[in-house]
Amino acid sequence: VTLGDPRGIGPEITRKALADPRIQALGIAWHVIGPTGTEQPVNEVIGAWTPTGEPVVDAARAGTLAGLAVMRATDLALRGEVQG
C-alpha cells in the first residue's frame, strides 16, 4: 500500500482500513510504503514528511514523496517481494 500525498487523506484512510477487523481478518501481510511523519506507520520508508508551511514547497515535497513510494512499490513488486 502506498500512502499517496502525505498532505491528503491517504495516510488516515490507510491507518483506519488496516485497523478494521474485516481487513485484518483477510490474513494479508500488508506492506505500507511512504514517508515517516504521517499518522500511518510504514514498513518501507522513502523519506520524511515535515511540512514547512510554505504551500509551494510542501506541494513539491509531497508530490516527490508520493512518486518515490510508487517507484519503491514497483521495484519491490518486480523483484517479487510484494504482490499487488
Burial 10-28 (b: 16+ CB within 10 A, else e): bbeebbeeeeeeeeeeeee
The reported pTM is 0.90
Identify which has the larger pLDDT, 83 or 46. Answer: 46
Confidence of residue 51 (pLDDT cuts 50, 70, 90): very high
Length of the chain: 84
Query: What digits encode the pLDDT tens for the residues 68-79?
Result: 999 999 999 999
Q: How much is the pLDDT for 84?
A: 78
